[in-house]
């Protein structure tokens, strides 16, 4: 096996041998490579063939399946690969070969770097396209680009051509995030500021993890009036801000913190957990019988909820487990007992006048977007310290699971606004971009001249496509950590540093002094 697609890759060079740091075994990694090679074969076939909605769906599912911490089950990966081959035959009578991923892993390091940026960006974007697709929203330009990008990986393109495709991945991902934002807000309403308890009430409950709001909505419907409470976990937290999800009185609060703490937080939990997407970690014995998967997530021996979305096995398990006997105060990592969410673009832009006046009056000196993914690397305490040390006249915008490092801190308010504003899941980077673009219009300057700095943490491939979107939009001076991606070669890094001034994080004091100085 060879895999270097995520931040925790071994020695920051690549996972090899019997298993990856995430627990993905070598045979699973090899099956995932075969699946990706088959998708490139399908893209070749689509070039002169006639792809359909089914083809798009298979491509999106296939790419999503290979994201870090999504699928650990060889059977489902092999079945999906067989479906891709079948589809290839359906859309084009001529037989196109699969691509051998070894060619990519052994290519010249700069070509490999650019092709990896495209491939990993496509994987991240596929997750967003998938969530929009289940809500009935698709976009031809987005779907078409999956084929263009996959096709390019199998071709001998030069650096210049690949670099332009890297930026195009960012451009199309912006459209894809916009599509998902539209899908979510049309289905569930625009998020509103909401306080979310971290306490768990007594009695049966179900924990829902991942990003898929549609799965959550279906589960809320099926558990209505059954005496079972529902708690979000990790990236599902922002669901509490959506009016049509908030309306369910049994959507009670949030369980636990970020994904990488699940093995200890789920230890002996008296309730089942549903994983709708990543980040699923290797499942421990103490809660193995209570983990359920759905959609593209799967793991050997766990019960998988199929396309009929009949959650009866989880409901039965919740009643069997019974929940806690009394209310449990499971506080956040900084010991806070509530968190807030729901500060998406509509809400923030709704108080734009107030924000603009506060900037003009010198009451808000600077905005930081401290967001991205969390992970187990020790260096990630940087983000907690950064927020703790940020001056009182600064606002912290945040999104994705990296927020758990600080979202339960009480760092006060400015002009009636909390200093920490949670804009949502990772895909809600769209909200942050919308706010930044709106502010740049008001202040008649470029986004790069706003009193705004992006301090980002990355872990998996959704962060890659978001980073590419920011680069496509010409956003400079991004601080990135906890380490730089192993798949970016020194030459490609120097291009990114020259053109965009991407800066690795150092220490909170030094970075704050540099930014505010
Ligand atoms: Fe986190 Fe996992 Fe949302 Fe990722 S839960 S790490 S970037 O899946 O997608 O932020
Ligand atoms: Fe390693 Fe990350 Fe790949 Fe898992 S997904 S095998 S941890 S690089």
What digits encode the pLDDT tens for the residues 472-514? Answer: 999 999 999 999 999 999 999 999 999 999 999 999 999 999 9
Atom of ligand 1 nearest to the CA of 462: 7
Distance in angstroms (rounded) separating the CA atoms of residues 42 and 95: 10
Percentage helix, strand, coil, to 5, in the chain? 50, 15, 35
pLDDT the model gives residue 357: 93
pLDDT the model gives residue 95: 87
Ligand nearest to the CA of 275: 1
Ligand 2 mean position to 189 CA, how many Å? 36
Write out the two tokens for 244: 């049509």
Atom of ligand 1 nearest to the CA of 427: 3
Span 80-128, pLDDT tens digits:
999 999 999 999 999 899 999 999 999 999 999 999 999 999 999 999 9
Query: What is the fold, at CATH topology level, of the domain defined by 10-186?
Result: Substrate Binding Domain Of Dnak; Chain:A; Domain 2 (1.20.1270)
Atom of ligand 2 nearest to the CA of 20: 6
Q: Is 242 left (phi over 0), alpha (psi -120 to 50) or beta?
A: beta
Atom of ligand 2 nearest to the CA of 14: 8
- The contacts of residue 248 (CB under 8 Å, 6+ apart) are 220, 224, 230
Write out the two tokens for 477: 């001076």
Residues 412-440, mean pLDDT to the nearest whole number? 95
Ligand 2 mean position to 108 CA, how many Å? 21
Ligand 1 mean position to 124 CA, how many Å? 10
- The contacts of residue 426 (CB under 8 Å, 6+ apart) are 211, 235, 371, 372, 373, 399, 400, 401, 462, 463, 466
Residues 261-268, mean pLDDT to the nearest whole number? 97
Ligand 1 mean position to 215 CA, how many Å? 17
Ligand 2 mean position to 188 CA, how many Å? 34
Span 8-33, pLDDT tens digits:
999 999 999 999 999 999 999 999 99
Residues 62-79, mean pLDDT to the nearest whole number? 98
ipTM: 0.96
pLDDT the model gives residue 378: 86
pLDDT the model gives residue 47: 96
Degrees (nearest 5) of the Cα angle 38, 100, 299? 55
| pLDDT for residue 39 is more than 90 | yes
Q: Is the peptide bond before 311 cis (omega within 30 degrees of 0)?
A: no
Ligand 2 mean position to 470 CA, how many Å? 24
Q: Where in the chain is the domain with CATH 1.20.1270.20?
A: 10-186
Nearest alpha carbon to residue 246 among 211, 214, 227, 220? 220
Ligand nearest to the CA of 465: 1
Pocket test for ligand 1, best of 5, 210, 213, 259 (most atoms within 8 A of CB): 259
Distances (CA, A) of 97 to 78, 225, 271, 328, 356: 17, 53, 47, 56, 57
Residues 131-154, mean pLDDT to the nearest whole number? 98
* Rounded percentage of the chain residues whose pLDDT exceeds 90: 98
Ligand 2 pocket residues where CB is under 6 Å: 3-6, 8-9, 15, 20-22, 24, 29, 68
Domain 342-516 falls under CATH 3.40.50.2030: yes
Ligand nearest to the CA of 67: 2
Pocket test for ligand 1, best of 460, 461, 480 (most atoms within 8 A of CB): 460
Beta bridge partners of 398: 422
Ligand 2 mean position to 178 CA, how many Å? 28
Ligand 2 mean position to 4 CA, how many Å? 6
Dihedral of CA 88/136/248/310: which sign? negative
pLDDT range class, residue 389, cuts 50, 70, 90: very high
Residues 166-173, mean pLDDT to the nearest whole number? 98
Distance in angstroms (rounded) separating the CA atoms of residues 186 and 180: 10
| pLDDT for residue 412 is more than 90 | yes
Strands 413-414 and 417-418: antiparallel
CA-proximal residue: ligand 2, atom 6 (nearest): 20
Span 176-235, pLDDT tens digits:
999 999 999 999 999 999 999 999 999 999 999 999 999 999 999 999 999 999 999 999
Ligand 1 mean position to 234 CA, how many Å? 8
CA-proximal residue: ligand 2, atom 2 (nearest): 6
Q: Where in the chain is the domain with CATH 3.40.50.2030?
A: 194-329, 342-516
Look up tokens 């809320």; give the residue. Answer: 220
Average pLDDT, the chain: 97
Nearest alpha carbon to residue 473 among 515, 421, 426, 436? 436
pLDDT range class, residue 294, cuts 50, 70, 90: very high
* Rounded percentage of the chain residues whose pLDDT exceeds 70: 100
Ligand 1 mean position to 487 CA, how many Å? 19
- 330 near 198, Cβ under 8 Å? yes
Ligand 1 pocket residues where CB is under 6 Å: 211, 234-235, 259, 278-279, 373, 400-401, 425-426, 459-460, 462-463
User: The CATH number of 194-329 is which of 3.40.50.2030, 3.40.50.150, 3.30.450.20, 3.40.47.10?
Assistant: 3.40.50.2030
């Amino acid at each position: 096996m060879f895999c270097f697609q995520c931040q925790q890759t071994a020695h920051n060079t690549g996972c090899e041998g019997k298993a990856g740091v995430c627990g993905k075994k070598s045979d699973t990694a090899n099956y995932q490579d075969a699946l990706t090679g088959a998708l490139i074969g399908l893209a070749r076939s689509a070039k002169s063939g006639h792809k359909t909605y089914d083809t798009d769906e298979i491509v999106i599912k296939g790419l999503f399946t290979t994201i870090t911490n999504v699928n650990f089950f060889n059977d489902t990966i092999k079945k999906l690969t067989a479906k891709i081959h079948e589809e290839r035959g359906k859309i084009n009578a001529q037989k196109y070969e699969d691509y051998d991923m070894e060619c990519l892993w052994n290519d010249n390091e700069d070509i490999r770097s650019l092709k990896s940026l495209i491939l990993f960006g496509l994987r991240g974007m596929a997750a967003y396209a998938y969530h929009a697709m289940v809500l009935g929203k698709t976009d031809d330009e987005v779907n078409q680009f999956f084929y263009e990008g996959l096709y390019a990986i199998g071709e001998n393109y030069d650096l210049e051509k690949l670099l332009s495709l890297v930026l195009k991945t960012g451009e199309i991902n912006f459209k894809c995030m916009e599509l998902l934002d539209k899908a979510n807000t049309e289905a569930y309403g625009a998020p509103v500021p909401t306080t979310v308890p971290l306490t768990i009430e007594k009695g049966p409950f179900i924990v829902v993890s991942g990003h898929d709001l549609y799965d959550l909505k279906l589960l809320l419907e099926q558990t209505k009036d059954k005496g079972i409470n529902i708690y979000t976990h990790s990236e599902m937290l922002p669901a509490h801000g959506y009016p049509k999800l908030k309306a369910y009185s049994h959507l009670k609060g949030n369980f636990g913190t970020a994904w990488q703490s699940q093995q200890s937080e789920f230890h002996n939990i008296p309730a089942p957990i549903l994983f709708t997407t990543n980040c699923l970690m290797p499942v421990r014995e103490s809660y193995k019988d209570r983990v359920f998967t759905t959609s593209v997530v799967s793991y050997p021996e766990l019960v998988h909820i199929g396309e009929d979305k009949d959650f009866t096995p989880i409901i039965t398990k919740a009643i069997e487990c019974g929940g806690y006997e009394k209310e449990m105060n499971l506080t956040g990592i900084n010991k806070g007992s509530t968190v807030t969410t729901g500060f998406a673009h509509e809400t923030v832009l709704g108080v734009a006048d107030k924000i603009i006046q506060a900037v003009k009056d010198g009451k808000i000196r600077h905005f930081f977007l401290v967001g991205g993914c969390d992970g187990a690397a020790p260096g990630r305490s940087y983000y907690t310290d950064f927020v703790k040390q940020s001056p009182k006249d600064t606002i912290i915008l945040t999104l994705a699971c990296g927020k758990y490092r600080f979202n339960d801190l009480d760092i006060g308010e400015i002009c009636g606004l909390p200093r920490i504003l949670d804009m949502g899941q990772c895909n809600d980077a769209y909200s942050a971009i919308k706010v930044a673009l709106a502010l740049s219009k008001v202040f008649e300057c470029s986004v790069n001249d706003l009193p705004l700095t992006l301090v980002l943490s990355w872990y998996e491939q959704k962060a890659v496509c978001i980073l590419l979107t920011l680069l496509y939009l010409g956003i400079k001076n991004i601080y990135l950590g906890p380490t730089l991606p192993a798949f970016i070669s020194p030459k490609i890094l120097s291009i990114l540093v020259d053109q965009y001034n991407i800066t690795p994080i150092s220490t909170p004091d030094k970075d704050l002094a540099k930014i505010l100085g």
